[in-house]
Amino acid sequence: MPAHSILNTLNDALRRDALENIGKMHMPAGSVVFSAGEQCRGLPLVTGGSIKVQMTGLSGQSIVLYRMGADDICTLSIGCLMTGRGYRAEAVVEEDAEALMIPRGLFDRLMDQSEDFRLGIMESYGRRLDDLMLLVEEVAFRRMDERLREWLAARSGKRVLAITHQELAVELGTAREVVSRLLKEMERNGEVLLSRGKIALPGSFE
Amino acid sequence: MPAHSILNTLNDALRRDALENIGKMHMPAGSVVFSAGEQCRGLPLVTGGSIKVQMTGLSGQSIVLYRMGADDICTLSIGCLMTGRGYRAEAVVEEDAEALMIPRGLFDRLMDQSEDFRLGIMESYGRRLDDLMLLVEEVAFRRMDERLREWLAARSGKRVLAITHQELAVELGTAREVVSRLLKEMERNGEVLLSRGKIALPGSFE
DNA sequence: TAGCTTCAGTGATAAAGTCACATTCAGCGT
DNA sequence: ACGCTGAATGTGACTTTATCACTGAAGCTA
């Protein structure tokens, strides 16, 4: 079965326990892992693919909070698991994803009996808090044109991005018109090449 | 000693352990609990007063992320404690505060041996994540005049707030001028009464 | 009371968000 | 191949927020 590094350090007894109780999930791109208000039924350990977590405000506008990929832990689920409150955000699969689902009982046993498991969970939590703090700062203080350029630069491995302006607006937490205008400006500068649902980055058209 | 509810459920052995190893801290208003980059030396359990956690961006601008009060746990410290990375934010005492400082070793023992302690830590983490997610949404999408009014309304218990426009700007993650203009507008509407370093709320001057 | 320092007010301008609508494109059915 | 339709994009007009560069006012201290 696809491994998750947090399981590597378990002793034989716990490993057996884990093998018996872990559920395996395959989720095709586009599927919704959980949505706002929903109850949590276990802790997902992501083993592959890409999942984005986003929230929708009262205003109806959405913003992407962070992504999960191979070897990530869905820290957000732990809080829901422990308190019984529903999710505040929703998670959508971007690239076909796989995850191991740890049910509540097993989670409690692992937390009780494995120091390394606890350590992994705590580290994951810490990283998530850091991410969110950085996001707050970015949203509050940074200029949108810089943030857009950085978002694109971070994905310059792909020569052509298949994304609409609306989706990009949700990534950055802004309005579609703002993204459209900035991209148009960038196209005039020769920084990108636009077509319906696609953004071609330099290197792909020079 | 001032209690923290997370310690209430410990059994006798752990309680003794705790009593022997917990450090007690008194911090006067204005003192800095920790600042950015600093290493973490233990987990603070806040038992009284008020501490604000804020971060300063690359731009040099700051924003208040959240506050801690009686019975709160400084979740942010756990990540630093586990990974050894420095704090990304800073914490400043607003109203004289007290906290119990749990050193790393004791924290590990409590996490190992008390299910309730673990539960308390996880719940605290969950709440903090929720807070930060809500803050992201607020900063990204809500109007500044509404946010300012809500901030003031949440403190309408005090008839007169002793705060400068600059401090208020940090609370909301905006510029001082913006706060000044909005407050001036509110004063024209009779919603507040301004004087140097003070904001008088309705009820105090009607 | 003169001089300093901090706090607050304000005009000008740029960036970003909002609203309303026009235009363009891709896919689909006939 | 043609025209329809819905989604995606373009854009003007206007408001809100951010930034810059000051001015003025309040309180403190020597």
pLDDT in tens, chain B (206 residues): 568 999 998 999 999 999 999 999 999 999 999 999 999 999 999 999 999 999 998 888 999 999 999 999 999 999 999 988 999 999 999 999 999 999 999 999 999 999 999 999 999 999 999 999 999 999 999 999 999 999 999 999 999 999 999 999 999 999 999 999 999 999 999 999 999 999 999 865 44
Mean of the per-residue pLDDT values of chain A: 95
The residue among A137, A142, A146 with the most chain B CBs within 10 A of its CB, best to mutate, is: A137
Retrieve residue B59's tokens.
């731009």
Closest among B141, B192, B205, B136 to B165, alpha carbons compared: B192
Nearest to A78 among B78, B126, B142 (CB): B126
User: Which pLDDT value is given to residue B58?
Assistant: 82
Helix (H, G, I), strand (E, B) or coil at B157: coil
Chain B residues whose CB is inside 8 A of the A132 CB are 129, 132-133, 136
* A206–chain B nearest CA distance, Å: 34
Retrieve residue B20's tokens.
């022997």
Per-residue pLDDT of B120-148, as tens digits, reads: 999 999 999 999 999 999 999 999 999 99
Per-residue pLDDT of A158-197, as tens digits, reads: 999 999 999 999 999 999 999 999 999 999 999 999 999 9
Instruction: Determine if strand D comes within 7 Å of the CB of A194.
Output: yes
> Do B5-140 and B142-200 share a fold?
no
Other Cβ atoms within 10 Å of B177 Cβ, number: 10
Domain at B5-140, CATH homologous superfamily: Jelly Rolls (2.60.120.10)
Multiple choice CATH, B142-200, 1.20.140.10, 2.40.70.10, 1.10.1740.10, 1.10.10.10: 1.10.10.10
User: Which pLDDT value is given to residue B57?
Assistant: 87
List strand C contacts in B 131-160 (CB < 7 A): 140-141
Maximal CA-CA distance, chain B: 63
User: Which pLDDT value is given to residue B1?
Assistant: 56
Residue B7, exposed/middle/buried by CB under 10 A (0-12, 13-18, 19+)? buried
Per-residue pLDDT of A50-101, as tens digits, reads: 999 999 988 889 999 999 999 999 999 999 999 889 999 999 999 999 999 9
Total residues belonging to chain B: 206
Are the Cβ atoms of B82 and A173 closer than 8 angstroms?
no
User: Which pLDDT value is given to residue B7?
Assistant: 95
Are the Cβ atoms of A173 and B140 closer than 8 angstroms?
yes
Q: Please give the Cα distance from A122 to A128 (Å, whole number).
A: 10
List residues bridging with A95 in a β-sheet.
Answer: A50
Mean of the per-residue pLDDT values of chain B: 95
Per-residue pLDDT of A105-153, as tens digits, reads: 999 999 999 999 999 999 999 999 999 999 999 999 999 999 999 999 9
User: Which pLDDT value is given to residue A205?
Assistant: 46
Closest among B168, B171, B182 to B139, alpha carbons compared: B171
Nucleotide nearest to A175 (CA to C1'): C17
Residue of A nearest to B57 (CA): A137
List residues bridging with A43 in a β-sheet.
Answer: A102
User: Which pLDDT value is given to residue A94?
Assistant: 95
Q: Which residue gives the smallest C-alpha to C1' distance to C18?
A: A175
* H-only helix segments in A22-164: 75-83, 104-113, 115-141, 144-153
Domain boundaries along the sequence of chain A: 5-140, 142-200
User: Which pLDDT value is given to residue A57?
Assistant: 87
B60 CB within 8 Å of a chain A CB: no
Q: Which amino acid is at B76?
A: L
List strand D contacts in A 82-141 (CB < 7 A): 140-141
Separation of B199 CA and C2 C1' (Å) = 30
* A125–chain B nearest CA distance, Å: 7
Are the Cβ atoms of A88 and B118 closer than 8 angstroms?
no
